[in-house]
Amino acid sequence: MLEDAKVVIFDEFTSVVDRDAAKLSSGAVANALRERRRPQLIAFSCHYDTIDWLEPDWVYNAADGSFGRALLWRRPPIELQIHKATPGAWPLFRGHHYLTGRLHRPARCWVATWNGVPEAFTSCMPLVGHAWVWREHRAVVLPDFQGSGSAMR
């Protein structure tokens, strides 16, 4: 049904969402709409922090009555910080892994944060029979950050 829509109107866009999740989900919505070239989105919000992430064509500001074309808005970069971690970080992510919640003891672990908030986890293990070769063991991006492209980073 939504696939056939020409315009989608969304009131209170991201109003009840954590602000970091709101920014990333706005970027994911913008990507999806751009790829499909429809439907058009009209989003009403009292938050200004999602505008850059949506990369809109037009913006109306009800506070001052301004209306303008937003040709030069570009999404802010997502700058991840990568931290070496211990297996103690795994419990935050294990419920979101599709296979199992187990983490092998020899795994080396890293956590990616954005604005100080944990976003992703990865671990690797030695590849048996190959000296100095490691393989990925677990990789998880928390649901609020999926679609941000951080898994590839």
pLDDT tens by residue, 68-81: 776 655 667 778 89
Nearest to 138 by CA among 99, 81, 82: 99
For the chain, which residues make up each domain, given as ranges? 2-69, 81-145
- Residue predicted with more confidence, 85 or 38: 85
What letter would DSSP give residue 148? S
Q: Which residue has the tokens 């910080």?
A: 81
Mind listing the pLDDT tens digit for each residue in 13-44? 888 888 888 888 888 888 777 777 777 788 88
- 59 vs 51: CA distance, rounded Å: 8
CB-CB contact of 66 with 54 (8 Å): no
